[in-house]
């Protein structure tokens, strides 16, 4: 678990958290969206599922209103402790750049399959019901992310 995350990082050079046993409340899962100023500004959507933060890179600001659809590219799982990470990832390291928490809160999954995730978010900016649907875009790891009506 979290092998992809570990392989991409040198923890002697980055302050990103090292993987550890999950330390969250399974009855009260979380989400976090981190604004990531890397080569290109994007937003990292992270949902607590099965003891890790399932993660997607969203190239544009996340959809806070219905009718707005965003591409979300699935990335490697992250440890739950990453939900608190803010700071600088040094040049030469994977994801180099500044990371800031854009929003965070409670995540309530309604349906999770390999091709569709229906969920409710309760954060400061992201409130309501949202959907992630797997697409053919993005080399097989593309998803469509939008807010339900």
Give the global pTM: 0.86
- Cβ contact 72:143 at 8 Å: yes
Judged against a pLDDT cut of 90, whether residue 88 lies above it is answered with: yes
Spatial distance between the Cα atoms of 27 and 144, rounded to a whole number of angstroms:
27
- 96 φ, ψ (degrees, to nearest 5): -50, 135
Domain ranges, ordered by start, for the chain: 3-147
- Cβ contact 114:128 at 8 Å: no
The reported pLDDT for the residue numbered 118 is 98
Least confident of 13-17, 40-44, 67-71, 93-97: 13-17
Judged against a pLDDT cut of 70, whether residue 138 lies above it is answered with: no
- 15 φ, ψ (degrees, to nearest 5): -90, 5
């Amino acid at each position: 678990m979290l092998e992809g995350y570990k392989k991409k990082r040198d923890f002697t050079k980055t302050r990103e958290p090292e993987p550890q046993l999950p330390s969250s409340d399974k009855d009260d899962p979380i989400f976090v969206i981190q604004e990531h100023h890397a080569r290109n500004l994007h937003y990292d959507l992270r949902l607590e599922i099965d003891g890790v933060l399932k993660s997607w890179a969203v190239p544009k600001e996340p959809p806070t209103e219905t009718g707005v659809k965003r591409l979300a590219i699935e990335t490697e799982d992250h440890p739950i402790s990453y939900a608190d990470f803010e700071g600088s990832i040094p040049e030469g390291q994977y994801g180099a750049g500044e990371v800031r928490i854009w929003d965070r809160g409670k995540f309530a999954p309604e349906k999770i399959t390999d091709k569709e995730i229906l969920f409710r978010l309760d954060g400061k900016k992201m409130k309501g019901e949202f959907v992630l649907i797997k697409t053919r875009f993005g080399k097989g790891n593309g998803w469509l992310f939008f807010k339900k009506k």
